[in-house]
Amino acid sequence: MPVSPTEISTARWKIALYLAGSLAFVAIALLALQHPDEDALGLELGLAFFGLCAAVFVWLLIQPQRLLLDNQGFTLLGGFVRSPRRVLWADVDEFFVYRLPRGGKMIGYNYKPGARTPPRLAKFNRWFGAEAALPRGWPMSLEKMVAELNDYRLQATSRDAPPST
């Protein structure tokens, strides 16, 4: 029995929090630039960085990232994704939460041996914990998102398996 297609969008409230944090740092840098005894170059670099972050989060509020799940695989689109990349369930080993080298966590996945379309940097990326990863900002916890993705993948791929006797 086919699994019904599902769409998961990033949580706009999380993106709005990231935007608020970036704008707070922009405001702090602007206030600090009013005092001539501060390191102006460092403050200007911080202002530029957090200003760019704020612009990114504004864009993600306008064009949120979406994950489309169907019987064949998943597609990530929206945000800054120019050409959506489709990943087949048959190529994915499993989803898991992994720790980034400098802290934080992400949803990662590895490709099965013999996968048709692994990215060129997949083997290099594995040194950091996963061959590929999904962006942050989903509406549920990372652990719950991983469980949902793995359940969906198993349901979608089990329909292709012959019934056990």
| Confidence grade of residue 54 (pLDDT, cut at 50, 70, 90) | very high
List the chain domain ranges.
11-62, 68-158
User: Which pLDDT score, from 0 to 100, does residue 164 have?
Assistant: 42
- Max Cα-Cα span within the chain: 79
> 98 vs 79, 110, 137, 164, CA distance in Å?
23, 11, 15, 34
pLDDT at 38 over 90: no
This prediction's pTM? 0.78
| Confidence grade of residue 127 (pLDDT, cut at 50, 70, 90) | low
Q: Considering the chain, what percentage of its residues have pLDDT values greater than 90?
A: 55
